Structure 1
Amino acid sequence: MDSPTSRGGSSTSSGRSSVIDSLRGCTLAGLRIPKEELRKKITLPEYMRLAMKEAIQAKNVEANTVTQLYQAAHTDGAEPPDMPESPLVVFINSKSGGRHGPELKARLQALMGEEQVFDLLVVKPQEFVQYGLGCLEKFAALGDSCAEETRGKLRVVVAGGDGTVGWVLGCLGELDKQGRLPVPPTGIIPLGTGNDLSRSFGWGGSFPFNWKSAIKRTLDRIADGRICRLDSWNALISMPAGEDLDTPYSLKATEETPLDQELEVEGELPEKVSCYQGVFYNYFSIGMDAQVAYGFHHLRNEKPYLAQGPISNKIIYSGYSCKQGWFFTPCSSDPGLRGLKNILRIYVKKVNSQEWEQIPIPSSVRSVVALNLPSYGSGRNPWGNLKPEYLEKRGFVEAHADDGFLEIFGLKHGWHASMVMVELISAKHIAQASSIRFELRGGEWTEAFMQMDGEPWKQPMNKEFSTFVEIKRVPFQSVIVHGE
């Protein structure tokens, strides 16, 4: 399997601008793919499509309508179904992509069986995994070789932003836990603002201008593209009980879960703790960048008319960054805006080490980011393409999305972040780690800000007891279709 930065799949595509990505889509390549030929290649037999739809709606693979569809397709004299060469199903977030979402959904339904296009506002990916794929598996168990082959060849398309892609990947990952293999590979149609997952795997940073013709080419590439692997990371938050945490979708409350016992906690622990867990694919961050993102998200929710698309989102985001003091307030002028060193400790397991080690935090750093992909903040690579001699000197290895390591770096302030993003300078390299523990203690701070894959939240802090964030790699690697 190739990683997005390995030979044959360069990461340079992650740094291309959205405009260039869109212009690359303005090609006649899509016009050269006959519609009927594509439809035959990717469309499931009708009885399978209808049976999957019925199973999902009934939330029961044993529903009478499902059984009847199977029996009708396998009665004596029934014509054998045509086996698709590369069967696809699509998940689309019709709210993403501005006005393009509903139009794209209609276009996709016209290119394949309507029942193969799932609107995430109606059908959740976990329902498809349990009942849709469960239906195919039931048919295969009954001796349906076409259903068995379709289940084995099936690929998934996600039309949405990074959050939507992560949601679908997480649900598909449950198949590995349940022993229901293979896990279908996933291709991406970018509809979000940043689209860093899409960029990292060659699907571009924006929706192409001529999408009506380009979409045929995209589906064909997903059907035939090579397969890559992607690490995902579990974040466990353990905090003193009693504080309310307004969690984003990516975090869920869970039963009390102990921290890694190999690393002892200094000081006293509270009698009761509240725990939350979630999975991220791109990054986890603490500090000013998350605070700006939190304010922007709330502003956009309160005044949705201000954010009508990716460009307006970025303009508003930049303005909000200035308003929050990310650019114009010195670190020392306000305890609430000073460096993270005052409230944060970082422990890691470094490359080629199984021992926990505390690492220093530069005093000027106001945001700490743990990065998995070579794309952050709409296609930038703040970790950089480091020279072999520097890697050796720092004890680092070349960064890939499937190497089992997170790259930890710091941003000092908005000006520093801006220069990092345009690649005039590099971020403050802190560590490269297979496991991370962040420990936060309040002091004069009553709250901090965190975000996972663009979903920010306000994290309350306690003066007497620490809040911990422990990050470890999920054993299963997601399966991604590369676009180049």
Structure 2
Amino acid sequence: MFRLYDTDGNGLLDSSILKEMMEEIDYDRDGTVTLEEWIRGGMTTIPLLVLLGMETLHNKCASNVKPECDGGPLRDHTLLPSYICPVVLDRHSAVKRGEGESSPSTSPEDTGQCFKFTGDGQALQITPLPGTHPLLVLVNPKSGGRQGERVLRKFQYLLNPRQVYSLDRGGPMAGLNFFRDVPNFRVLACGGDGSVGWILDCIDKANFARHPPVAILPLGTGNDLARCLRWGGGYEGGSLVKFLRDIEHSTEVLLDRWNIDIIPDDKEEKGDPVPYSIVNNYFSIGVDASIAHRFHLMREKHPEKFNSRMKNKLWYFEFGTTETISATCKKLNESIEVECDGIILDLSSTSLEGIAVLNIPSMHGGSNLWGETKKRRNYNRMSKKVPERMTGSTVTDAKELKFCVQDLSDQLLEVVGLEGAIEMGQIYTGLKSAGRRLAQCSSVTIRTSRLLPMQIDGEPWMQPPCTIRITHKNQVPMLLGPPQKTFFFFKKRNRSRD
């Protein structure tokens, strides 16, 4: 049970507001608030609900809530108000601790409890239901043509509002700090690839003992990482309850992340600021980065013209046509050198206009530049077993590259050449399967000799001559969505209404 508590021992609570609330829920007026009274008060007292994390609860709903509420169908994700309590300790326990007893929070049996402090210094005790995976929801309200604002409100309704954070209010750290010691919690990143990268960076900086796995609700334009992890190419307003249930049935996979260091040849020559120092999805130079840069400049100038995913794709097609005519990255091989694990690639006989370094099998909203991989025969004509390739080895041979499989957790990069904007359009529309495979390796160094467009995970900039080094950083756990159900054309059709 909880007792009214004052730190200076004068018999009065330090906070008059908390005192009034505690007295209000002391229904039998015995000077002690039992757990049952606490839960009952939390369901009927709006100021206390705000303190606990729930902003409001309608009277009609409150009358139907039982003290032993188990969280309902979303219990695996939800931090119920009764799981987040102000630390209200009785004076008797405080005296005992002063005589040498340890604090209850340090007891070995209290491993499921953690304590937080609000902005006004109020300590909160978080004790989630054992076996659950509380979900921290981080939403970019500006993503998806302001679709993020609607998603933010929906999640605040479905879950405890204390679990749902807007990224335009201080970024991801507020939510990550609140959940720091919550056991087995998961993160849901609601936004585009840029928002996901921002959240992963903040998780790195938070130095968690256990890196929380991250699921993605795709709200951006490309959503390439979400596509690879089976969360879809873009949220279209479907049931978020179904999406939360999919998270329950997801599995953890590891995602490679890469450091990228860009060293200018002339430090006095200033180019655009480099957007990121980490690559999650891909890095590219040339034709595709030029199209992305045109798109970026126009969106910065006229944001009202880029308020939907479909409009954004149409703009990409228009800028791709312009790039085809201008061919700004023609004869790229004459101003670039690509080195893979110490091996310099021979680009002299190529007519490439772009180079892409891939970590995942999706780019520009679903284009697989690496393409399908051929299956290797286990036996040759002489019935001798073909030797398996050594894991982590460098491959630059064109014939051998046909059998190289792409994997987002193999600590390898794939290097692809692009012939021009027309080829990009063919790959995007499915008329061509992939670009030209150049290498699979564990590190890449690129040297340029002129001003070129570049991009990291869809964020472009113009870069003067420089040296680019890409090396492995770490691996982080991500959540892989459950396989989508497939229906064969000959399966009996269900004519019943949903």
Structure 1 length-normalised TM: 0.70
Amino acid in the other structure paired with 1:104? V
Q: Is the 8 A contact 1:287 1:367 kept in 2?
A: yes
Q: Deviation per CA, 1:270-300, whole angstroms, max 9, x where unpaired?
A: xxxxxxxx00111100012111211111101
Structural mapping, 1:107-256, within 5 Å: 107-129=154-176, 131-134=177-180, 136=181, 151-175=182-206, 178=207, 180-209=208-237, 211=238, 214-239=239-264, 240-250=266-276
Q: 1:423 to 1:66 in 2, by over 3 A?
A: farther
| Superposition deviation, residue 222 in structure 1 | 1.5
| Superposition deviation, residue 383 in structure 1 | 0.8
Structural mapping, 1:73-92, within 5 Å: 82-83=129-130, 85-92=132-139
Q: Is the 8 A contact 1:229 1:480 kept in 2?
A: yes
**Out of 308, 311, 327, which is 2:324 matched to?**
327
Amino acid in the other structure paired with 1:69? L
Higher helix fraction: Structure 1 or Structure 2? 1
Query: What SS does the aligned partner of 1:97 have?
Result: helix
How many residues align structurally? 364
Structure 1 residue runs of 5 or longer lacking an equivalent are 1-34, 53-59, 74-79, 137-150, 251-277, 350-355, 462-466
Match of 1:281 in 2: 280
For 1:220 and 1:165, the matched residues in 2 are separated by 21
Percent identical? 29
Q: 1:162 to 1:68 in 2, by over 3 A?
A: closer
Amino acid in the other structure paired with 1:40? R
Match of 1:450 in 2: 454
| Superposition deviation, residue 83 in structure 1 | 4.5
Runs of 4+ with >6 A deviation = none
Amino acid in the other structure paired with 1:244? K
Match of 1:103 in 2: 150
| Superposition deviation, residue 427 in structure 1 | 0.8
Q: 1:208 to 1:63 in 2, by over 3 A?
A: closer
For 1:370 and 1:363, the matched residues in 2 are separated by 17
Match of 2:463 in 1: 459
| Superposition deviation, residue 66 in structure 1 | 4.9
Match of 1:259 in 2: none
Match of 1:366 in 2: 353
Question: Considering only aligned residues, what root-mean-square deviation do their CA atoms show, in Å?
Answer: 2.7
Q: 1:63 to 1:85 in 2, by over 3 A?
A: closer
Q: 1:51 to 1:345 in 2, by over 3 A?
A: farther
Q: Is the 8 A contact 2:193 2:225 kept in 1?
A: yes
Match of 1:403 in 2: 410
| Superposition deviation, residue 45 in structure 1 | 4.3
Q: Is the 8 A contact 1:155 1:186 kept in 2?
A: yes
Match of 2:489 in 1: none
Q: Is the 8 A contact 2:340 2:441 kept in 1?
A: yes
For 2:343 and 2:169, the matched residues in 1 are separated by 47
Amino acid in the other structure paired with 1:200? C
Query: What SS does the aligned partner of 1:328 have?
Result: helix
Amino acid in the other structure paired with 1:199? R
The structure with more radius of gyration? 2
Structure 2 residue runs of 5 or longer lacking an equivalent are 1-69, 88-114, 378-394, 483-498
Amino acid in the other structure paired with 1:328? I
Query: What SS does the aligned partner of 1:408 have?
Result: strand
Query: What SS does the aligned partner of 1:432 have?
Result: strand
Amino acid in the other structure paired with 2:233? G
Query: What SS does the aligned partner of 1:468 have?
Result: strand
**Out of 408, 413, 422, which is 2:420 matched to?**
413
For 1:50 and 1:365, the matched residues in 2 are separated by 62
Q: Is the 8 A contact 1:382 1:427 kept in 2?
A: yes
For 2:433 and 2:150, the matched residues in 1 are separated by 41
Structural mapping, 1:263-342, within 5 Å: 278-323=277-322, 326-329=323-326, 336-342=328-334
| Superposition deviation, residue 174 in structure 1 | 3.3
For 1:159 and 1:64, the matched residues in 2 are separated by 25
For 1:51 and 1:92, the matched residues in 2 are separated by 26
For 1:50 and 1:102, the matched residues in 2 are separated by 28
Q: Is the 8 A contact 1:89 1:154 kept in 2?
A: yes
| Superposition deviation, residue 244 in structure 1 | 2.2
| Superposition deviation, residue 231 in structure 1 | 0.6
Q: Is the 8 A contact 2:117 2:124 kept in 1?
A: no
Query: What SS does the aligned partner of 1:245 have?
Result: coil
